[in-house]
Amino acid sequence: MSLRNTARAFPTLLRVGFAEAVAYRAEMLVWVLATTMPLVMLALWSTVARDAPVGRYGQPQFVAYFLSTFIVRQLTGSWAFWEMNQDVKSGALGMRLLRPVHPLLAYAAESLAAMPMRVVVSLPLAAVALGVIGAGGVTHDPVLWVLWAVSLAGAWLLTLFIGLAVGCAAFFFESSLKVMDLWLVFFFVFSGYLLPVEILPGGLRAVVDALPFRFQIGLPVELMTGALGRGEALGMLARQWAWVAVSLGSTALMWRRGLRRFEAYGG
Amino acid sequence: MIRVRGLHKHYKVHERPPGLAAALRSVFRRRYKTIAAVDGIDFDIADGERVGFLGPNGAGKTTTLKVLAGLLHPTSGEVSVDGHEPRRRQDAFLKRIMLVLGQKQQLLWDLPPSETFELNRAVYDVPRVQYKETLDELTQLLQLGELVGKPTRTLSLGERMKCELAAALIHRPKVLFLDEPTIGLDVSMQATVRDFVARYNERSGATLILTSHNMDDVARLCPRVIVIDRGKLVYDGTLAELVTRIRPDKRVVLRFSRSVDAADLAALGKVVRHDAGESVLQVSKEAVNAVVSRALAHLPVSDLTVENPPLEEVMSELFARSQARRVAEAAS
């Protein structure tokens, strides 16, 4: 399965993936509603901060933070683990293996293909967010915006690779979805999705800083809201991409081992 | 084209007796046993041949097909398809073959089949001119018409199978593996699929390997059959020879102008079926002429045909003999 062949087919994979993403209008609406947790958290934390700020977060900071979180989540989400789990369990992975395109790249294309829809959802909210929080709620530093774009790509890749690695667990376990459920418990708390990592207790924060979760959501949000300076941002970005490399390596390893098992037992 | 030598494929499967206690025990200590799905088979298939893989459920047919397609790795043995080692799944190999599984699909469920065709054009790197020619031909042969524009989920099983076949042939594979392609289809759709597959083989010269429990598929498509039972090859040759070897007797089908007593028929041969207007006799090949003459002379025959026994019966007999041989071997 050569990369050249895959690269040639990639635009069609993206186009067909996009057609699949928009096939169901009702499903799209449900999907949008299912990702509104940051807006719920916005209401919750704004209430908490009504009388006194939490750390450096007053009501305006929480509004800026969670609107940014919603946008970042839309632009970095990936459901590849779900697709892969289904394919391994149903044996449909066999049909993917018969095509001269690497299945992992096909999953990546399908995930990427859903992005235009997510941008369409995010753009109006970004406009509303800007209106609500004002220009002061986001960073004015163009360098940080460039770093934000890089961190967004890193966050998407990290989420995709982790999803694929967990999807590979389906080769070994009855259902990799349970593994993903476990991962999501930590993701929700430690990524900055439900609360800013900054307000976690000191000891716990040190642990969280050593884990990959924050780089999936927290880092792009912090860059967007101007919570990090240039130097600190560069350091965090380096760590994020180190995690991207680690997750890529883990996915490749899990895939090779899992595929060996699939080829031994079939689907 | 296809060469298989000493092919073995063994699986290790988890074994658990029924009951709660056994379920709990299996959490801590698992017992495994090894199953020989394919147990040392050899065969060669030439370019353009149409071969049927036959055998009872669990015989090892689909496992063999999956090994040939590169989806399963052999435990031991040599396999070569069109000069390639299937397990390596190189692009050049994947572009020459296709596996169609009657119970699994490659069509994108939420989109019209035309999107899957276009996707396959891109992934198999089919030039646009060739793609258009192939698609036009497939559309005509399979009478796809408006089907290609409807979402796959709204198509009937037969319509989906026709589109599956079209999707599988977009890159004009030289080796086509078909696993139960007519399963679940109505009689007319089965005939459509069979005719199409035969015509594709004649036009393209592609090699065709088919597994099916439907003996009409085998009779129409496969001059040669390979019979596998419990992972072992028990027959490799022409279908006609298999029928002659297993069931050398013939069926004489008699239709009468008025009702006939069963006792009058028993003198001619073994009565397989006796209805008011039609009876079927089983007679040895050597006795056919004599039986036909006597029937025409003494009975009110309005129509008479001589046929081979149904393939289903031939296969049942073959598997029964194979089973009896195994029991005898185990006992000795």
Summarised one tens digit per residue, pLDDT across range B235-252 is: 999 988 888 888 888 889
Q: With contact defined as beta carbons under 8 Å apart, do B81 and B174 qualify?
A: no
Query: What average pLDDT does this structure show over B137-148?
Result: 89
Summarised one tens digit per residue, pLDDT across range B105-121 is: 889 988 999 999 999 99
- Bigger pLDDT: B77 vs A205: B77
Cβ–Cβ below 8 Å for B110 and A24: yes
Question: Is the pLDDT reported for residue B43 higher than 90?
Answer: yes
How many CB pairs below 8 A link A and B? 81
Decide: helix, strand or coil at residue B60: coil
Spell out the domain ranges in chain A. Answer: 3-265
Query: What average pLDDT does this structure show over B115-144?
Result: 93
Decide: helix, strand or coil at residue B271: strand
> What is the set of domains in chain B, with CATH numbers?
2-243 (3.40.50.300), 248-307 (3.30.70.980)
Cβ–Cβ below 8 Å for B111 and A90: no
Of A5, A11, A98, the CB nearest to B125: A5
Helices (H), strands (E): how many in chain B?
12, 13
Question: Is the pLDDT reported for residue B315 higher than 70?
Answer: yes
CA A167 to centroid of chain Cα atoms? 15
Q: How high is the pLDDT of residue B16?
A: 74
Cβ–Cβ below 8 Å for B94 and A1: yes
**Dihedral sign (CA A41, A44, A50, A52):** negative
Return mean pLDDT, chain B. Answer: 89
Question: Is the pLDDT reported for residue B25 higher than 60?
Answer: yes
Question: Is the pLDDT reported for residue B127 higher than 70?
Answer: yes
Q: With contact defined as beta carbons under 8 Å apart, do B206 and B48 qualify?
A: yes
Q: With contact defined as beta carbons under 8 Å apart, do B231 and B67 qualify?
A: no
Q: How high is the pLDDT of residue B4?
A: 97
Q: How high is the pLDDT of residue B277?
A: 82
Cβ within 8 Å of residue A122, ≥6 positions away: A70, A71, A74, A75
Q: Which residues of A touch B70 (CB under 8 A)?
A: 97-98
Name the minimum distance, in Å, from the CA of A155 to any CA of chain B: 28
Decide: helix, strand or coil at residue B79: strand
Question: Is the pLDDT reported for residue B205 higher than 60?
Answer: yes
Q: Which residues of A touch B106 (CB under 8 A)?
A: 95
Summarised one tens digit per residue, pLDDT across range A220-235 is: 999 999 888 899 999 9
pLDDT band at A69 (very low <50, low <70, confident <90, very high): very high
Residue in chain B nearest A27 by alpha carbon: B110
Question: Is the pLDDT reported for residue A170 higher than 70?
Answer: yes
Cβ–Cβ below 8 Å for B119 and A2: no
Q: How high is the pLDDT of residue B84?
A: 96
Query: What average pLDDT does this structure show over A18-47?
Result: 80
Query: What average pLDDT does this structure show over B299-322?
Result: 86
Complex ipTM: 0.81
Name the minimum distance, in Å, from the CA of A121 to any CA of chain B: 22
Q: Which residues are bridge partners to B7 per DSSP?
A: B41
Measuring CA to CA, which residue among A189, A197, A195, A213 is closest to residue A40?
A195
Residue in chain A nearest B118 by alpha carbon: A12
Taking residue B244's Cβ as centre, other Cβ atoms within 10 Å add up to 14
Summarised one tens digit per residue, pLDDT across range A86-123 is: 898 888 899 999 999 999 999 999 999 988 888 887 77
Q: What H or E segment, with its residue span, contains residue B255?
A: strand B250-256
Measuring CA to CA, which residue among A41, A64, A61 is closest to residue A53?
A61
Interface of A with B in 151-210 (CB under 8 A): none
